[in-house]
Amino acid sequence: MNYKKNVYRLLCIGLLNLSSAALAQHMDLKKGWNYREQKTQKWYPATVPGEIHTDLLHNKAIPDPFYRDNEKKVAWVERKNWEYKTTFQVSVATLKKKNTELVFDGLDTYATVYLNNQLVLKADNMFRQWRADVKKILKPGNNDLVIVFQSAQNVVDSLAKKDLPFIIPDNPRAYVRKAQYHFGWDWGPKFTTCGIWKIPRLEAYNTKEEEQPYVLNRKIELVQQPDSLGKSFYFKIDGKPVYMKGANYIPSDSFLSRVTKKEYEKVIALAKDANMNMLRVWGGGIYEDDYFYDLCDKYGINVWQDFMFAGTMVPGDKAFFDNVREEVKYQVKRLRHHPSIVLWCGNNEADEAFKNWGWQKSMKMSKQDSTRLWKDYVRLFQDSIPKWVNEVDGKRPYISSSPLFHWSEKESVKQGDSHYWGTWWGLEDIEVTQKKTGRFVSEYGMQSLPNYSSIEKFTLPEDRYLYSDVLQAHQKAGKGFLKLESYLHRYFIDSTKIKKMNVEDYTYLTQCLQHYALKNSIGIHRSKAPYNMGTLVWQLNDCWPVASWSVTDYDNRQPKAAWYAMREAYRDDKTPEIDLTRPKDLLLEDPKISWQIKGNKVILKALKPAKYVCISIKGYTAKWSDNYFDLKAGEEKAISFEGKITKPDIKVFSLYEVLKRY
């Protein structure tokens, strides 16, 4: 009898919760927004969600930040403070609710919120949800909402100056809980944004919904066991070891409001279609939108989730730690129901940076300051964050940093995950991968230019020569063109000829280089299983059109040459091909390629063997069924494109033809 009573009582409680939830009101506040520079008179229409740069662009107050070298022409924006305002209506029925709260899931970043001229909230973290009890401030009819954003750059500069002579390496950005890539990266521009980047809302309710326990229907383990060769690093899902094939994911736009569901679908489809089963959400970006993880759940793509710290040390004060604690708990609770997430990682490269990047010497750091920095680091990433994670998600593994060992150290290929940058940064040959494959290679790559169709969009004809100021503005890597020249010289063409190349041919060769590097690196990594149990290329995507390590282009997410190499190398139905013959050493003959169009297919044929056959149609920026492939003599190959194109302007490249021109 007691059992029946308890069941009845639980049912009643459930129904009450359902009824109170049904009576709760959520009102999105995304309409009627305007913005202005603080202390100026005129207001302009704003879009929410958005950011100040996109609003200025829509109002033709700035040029396209991605075009030519306009990045430097809009640098002034980040030094100003900006105001946003709207008016929304509240009904009497809403006012009768016991609780009414303003809820902000995304304020970027230093924001002061006023409702009906009363201060209700001060925010300082773009990764947290902020709530303000506004029951006593709301009124029937019109309510005025104003948000003032302080310049994040000015704030962090002020905080860094206040701390002097103590310095937190490597950038004042360390002080702010904001997407770190907004301060510039070696593949990204510097647009230090502000704005309402997620839709705010008014919540009115009588009783708060009870938090539902989450269920994780699979067992996730990270196995790190000492063995005769070092220490393993691999994932077991439901008791089975899984070899992880994938890439690193960065935010898909410098302006986050532009990453729509359609954009997420494009990017995740590129991962799925390239036979990937893991993406690493890199720690210098954002905790992604739920829809990103929904797609990963759907397609069986495992997610390595960094917390948002990258390549810098951290402040040790109580306010910073309290802020991070709330961020961690909020984000883990928000995301933990996604089965795709298999790992929480404290930060990107901060541990190895402190030990190997020479900060202490370059910044003339005292031993006292160095000790303080390390203690604060340990306290946050090795003590606090794992404890906070465990309080809300005790079902997934956590590691403090990726990686623990710099690529120059012997231990980096014996234990833990590895960011192997001996190739590219260390200018080592690609073949070195045979001797330097780690247990789980979570970063490595080779740079290339974006697709030529993309270059045409952000340049004028007079910019299209090596190495024009505009091309330099879209090459953020230190000595990037010199490194590319070094690899092109070794693998494709004598450096004396490179400077004579036109940009289209140069672009083609850099993409062939990236194709060659990734095809062989992936093949070598996979050949070393089970010693090696993961290979994650840097990187899947770009946030703007740029020379980078991305295997896809920012423009319409079109694949670059290396994407096609990855798709083949990540197949499970065949052993990846390894061919370390340097293209420079090939005896190439004129392949005399002919082609014809039938419907949405291009049929190609070569009289002699052809290497790196690349096909393009002017104005077409979608995916080809294949590209940058080899053709055997006499072989006929049909390549399909999406949709129908009237009077297509087709170009076909092969390695022989491009090299012969020089």
Q: How far apart are CA 69 and CA 471, in angstroms?
A: 9
Are the C-beta atoms of residues 517 and 537 closer than 8 Å to each other?
no
Structure tokens at 225: 């066991």
Q: Give pLDDT tens digits for 320-363.
A: 999 999 999 999 999 999 999 999 999 999 999 999 998 989 88
Q: Where are the domains of the chain?
A: 25-205, 220-570, 586-660
Q: How far apart are CA 271 and CA 115, in angstroms?
A: 44
Which CATH number describes the domain made up of 25-205? 2.60.120.260
* pTM to 2 decimal places: 0.94
Are the C-beta atoms of residues 423 and 432 closer than 8 Å to each other?
yes
Q: Divide the 662 residues of the chain into consecutive groups of 10 and give the mean pLDDT of each group.
A: 44 44 81 97 97 98 98 98 97 94 98 98 98 96 98 97 91 96 97 98 93 90 96 98 98 97 97 98 98 98 98 96 98 97 97 92 91 96 98 96 95 96 97 97 98 97 96 97 98 95 97 98 98 98 98 96 98 96 96 92 95 93 93 94 84 96 95
Report the pLDDT value the prediction gives residue 10, as an integer from 0 to 100. Answer: 41
Q: Which residues of 102-118 are buried (b: 16+ CB within 10 A; e: fewer)?
A: bbbbbbbbbbbbbbeee
Is the domain defined by 220-570 classed in CATH 3.20.20.80? Answer: yes
Helical residues (DSSP H) of 412-536, grouped into ranges: 452-458, 469-473, 480-491, 495-498, 503-527
What is the radius of gyration, based on Cα positions, of the chain?
Answer: 27
Report the pLDDT value the prediction gives residue 244, as an integer from 0 to 100. Answer: 98
Q: Give pLDDT tens digits for 218-270.
A: 999 999 999 999 999 999 999 999 999 999 999 999 999 999 999 999 999 99
Beta-carbon contacts of 293 under 8 Å, excluding residues fewer than 6 positions away, are: 303, 335, 338, 340, 341
- Which of 248, 380, 371, 392 is closest to 329 using CA atoms? 392
Amino acid at 517: A
Report the pLDDT value the prediction gives residue 353, as an integer from 0 to 100. Answer: 92
Q: Which CATH architecture has domain 586-660?
A: Sandwich (2.60)
